[in-house]
């Protein structure tokens, strides 16, 4: 399995650059995705998609596959497995929401004009898809999913509904069904790869929530299944669509920061929801949850509502901070810099605040080394402090602070900007470049956890000044790639890099040892 892991290349030092030069250079750079507004048109789907998707795949280094479109202009028949917190968000990204959600979001917009979720959803571009099947082992969630899938006109309570999608009792039934073209998988981590492999082997295209895999061996099996069956695979890192990240990639490519040697990213949350202490449904019980299906490949445990709804707190079903939150931060930097899999990883942490029986740490630190790039990547996390530290990419000539916006400050000791700093043209205390995509006012966010994701560009971004759901953009990219017969930005290669990196961090944490990546053998080695 040959792969260009590092994607490393030498960049020359910029000379005699000042603030005006930087702004002028960046202003001429096109935004990937700015062309996305009119991709799908009924009468020329294949031609338009192939032309426009050439620009999208420039986010990665893979060549463009110009194979014929597989579905033409017919509606794509989707199935969804898992309709918990994330599953609901993903189905809304396809244009389907429960009537009650329509009611609640509309009322929230009246109460708080800054909350534009209702308008964002109602104005969302149609993807020309139908929800043909739903699968959830909690009967109430399955019913909710079917209700959302039938709401093709985005109606509130009492509105006209279409025919309800079929409920599949098991994921294998759905994957084998001739009535499903593609599947969205939003289950607990321990089911991700198993279901995605089954889907690929049945020729179904896959949108898989992150992390890609729960164990190391299934990572290789999933890659094999996707490649052998030639399906279109998208991993759910919707940050790939965040406009500030796209601009940050262009900044790095222009070498505005100089030689980059250190990247720091973090997770800081300080509320029960942010620590995965999710609400337990008041009507849930033995009578409406298929506990044996939930366990699947996980170790046996007696029925537990706490484990069912708060599964992220146990290694039995979860990948912990590494799979849930580090992967977002890592994929952001991998998108921007193409760092690939680290050469080595060390990690430490523990359960320091939430003494609730969980086995997954709530505080953690990870250090990744990329000696081939002269780069260190630091990740630090706490689920018991809300002090925001953001992402910082540090170069010899400047550093870039990155969230849903970006700020670049020259370094006082910069070589490239030395003359301009000395003559006062550049002040290191004043940004030489800032970018805040599309914002004209304050955005409304309901909870601390929502604010956390919003600040990272994981809830919404902007296209031509218009606020858009990043999950919708990521889902649209996947759907369009299916029709064009090409691979999206977070494809199986990027997924492999994400999965191996997260597993290295988890092994290092749980075993207290340094972990290495053998590039020649393409395998993890523990010291």
For the chain, how long is the longest CA-to-CA vector? 75
pLDDT by residue (tens digit) across 340-353? 999 999 999 999 99
Q: List the chain domain ranges.
A: 36-239+471-494, 243-300+313-458+500-526
Nearest to 472 by CA among 159, 201, 122: 122
243 burial type by CB count under 10 A (0-12 exposed, 13-18 middle, 19+ buried): buried
Q: What pLDDT score does 18 carry?
A: 58
Q: Which residues of the chain have pLDDT under 70?
A: 1-73, 438-460
Q: Per DSSP, what are the bridge partners of residue 234? A: 207
Distance CA 199, CA 171 (A): 9
Distance CA 418, CA 122 (A): 51
3-state secondary structure of 370: strand
Q: Which residues contact 26 (CB under 8 A, 6 or more apart)?
A: 247, 250, 251, 254, 256, 433, 435
The residue behind tokens 């944490």 is 509
Distance CA 494, CA 503 (A): 14
In three-state form (DSSP H/G/I as H, E/B as E, the rest C), the secondary structure along 10-69 is: CCCCCCCCCHHHHHHHHHCCCCCCCCHHHCCCCCCHHHHHHHHHHHHHHHCCCCCCCCCC
Q: What pLDDT score does 461 carry?
A: 82
Q: Per DSSP, what are the bridge partners of residue 460? A: 469
Q: Which CATH superfamily is domain 36-239+471-494 in?
A: NAD(P)-binding Rossmann-like Domain (3.40.50.720)
Query: What is the torsional sign of CA 27, 30, 31, 34?
Result: positive
Q: What pLDDT score does 65 carry?
A: 33
Q: What pLDDT score does 26 carry?
A: 54
Alpha helix segments (H runs only) across 57-114: 85-93, 99-111
The residue behind tokens 């759905």 is 174
3-state secondary structure of 309: helix
Token reading at 346 = 């060390």
**φ, ψ at 104 (rounded to 5°):** -65, -45
Contact (CB, 8 A) for 360 and 375: no
pLDDT by residue (tens digit) across 152-164? 999 999 999 999 9
CATH hierarchy code of domain 243-300+313-458+500-526? 3.30.360.10
Distance CA 87, CA 145 (A): 9
Q: What pLDDT score does 320 carry?
A: 97
Contact (CB, 8 A) for 401 and 394: no
Q: Per DSSP, what are the bridge partners of residue 515? A: 345, 526
Across 435-453, b (16+ Cβ under 10 Å) vs e yields: bebbeeeeebbeeebebbb
């Amino acid at each position: 399995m040959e792969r260009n892991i590092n994607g490393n290349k030498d960049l020359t030092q910029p000379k005699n650059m000042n603030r005006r030069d930087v702004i002028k250079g960046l202003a001429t750079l096109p935004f990937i995705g700015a062309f996305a507004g009119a991709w799908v048109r009924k009468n020329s789907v294949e031609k338009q998609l192939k032309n426009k998707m050439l620009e999208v795949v420039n986010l990665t280094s893979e060549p463009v596959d110009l194979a014929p479109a597989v579905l033409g202009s017919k509606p794509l028949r989707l199935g969804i497995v898992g309709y918990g917190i994330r599953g609901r968000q993903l189905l809304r990204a396809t244009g389907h929401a429960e009537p009650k959600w329509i009611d609640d979001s509309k009322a929230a917009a009246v109460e708080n004009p800054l909350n534009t979720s209702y308008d964002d959803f109602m104005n969302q571009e149609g993807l020309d898809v139908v929800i043909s099947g739903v699968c959830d082992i909690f009967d109430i969630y399955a019913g909710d999913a079917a209700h959302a899938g039938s709401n093709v006109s985005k109606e509130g309570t009492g509105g006209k509904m279409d025919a309800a999608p079929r409920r599949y009792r098991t994921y294998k039934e759905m994957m084998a069904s001739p009535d499903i073209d593609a599947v969205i998988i939003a289950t607990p981590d321990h089911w991700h790869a198993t279901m995605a492999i089954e889907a690929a082997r049945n020729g179904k295209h896959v949108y898989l929530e992150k992390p890609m895999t729960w164990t190391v061996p299934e990572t290789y099996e999933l890659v094999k299944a996707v490649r052998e069956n030639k399906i279109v695979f998208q991993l759910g890192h919707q940050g790939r669509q965040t406009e500030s990240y796209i601009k940050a990639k262009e900044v790095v490519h222009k070498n505005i920061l100089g030689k980059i040697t250190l990247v720091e990213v973090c997770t800081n949350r300080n509320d029960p929801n942010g620590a995965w202490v999710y609400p337990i449904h008041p009507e849930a019980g033995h009578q409406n949850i298929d506990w044996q299906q939930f366990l699947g490949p996980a170790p046996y445990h007696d029925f537990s509502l706490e484990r069912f709804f708060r599964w992220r707190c146990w290694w039995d079903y979860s990948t912990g901070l590494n799979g849930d939150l580090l992967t977002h931060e890592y994929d952001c930097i991998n998108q921007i810099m193409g760092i690939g899999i680290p050469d080595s990883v060390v990690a430490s942490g523990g359960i320091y605040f939430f003494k609730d029986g969980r086995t997954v740490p709530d505080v953690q630190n990870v250090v990744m080394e990329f000696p081939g790039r002269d780069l260190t990547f630091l990740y630090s996390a706490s689920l018991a402090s809300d002090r925001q530290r953001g992402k910082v990419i540090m170069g010899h000539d400047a550093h870039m602070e990155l969230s849903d916006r970006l700020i670049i400050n020259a370094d006082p000791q910069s070589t490239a900007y030395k003359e301009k700093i000395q003559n006062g043209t550049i002040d290191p205390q004043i940004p030489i470049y800032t970018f805040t995509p599309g914002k004209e006012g304050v955005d409304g966010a309901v909870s601390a956890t929502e604010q956390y994701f919003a600040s990272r560009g994981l809830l919404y971004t902007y296209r031509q000044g218009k606020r858009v759901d990043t999950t919708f953009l990521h889902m649209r990219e996947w759907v369009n790639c299916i029709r064009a017969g090409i691979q999206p930005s977070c494809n199986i290669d990027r997924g492999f890099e994400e999965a191996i990196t997260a597993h290295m961090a988890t092994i290092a944490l749980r075993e207290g040892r340094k972990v290495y990546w053998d590039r020649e053998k393409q395998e993890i080695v523990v010291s």
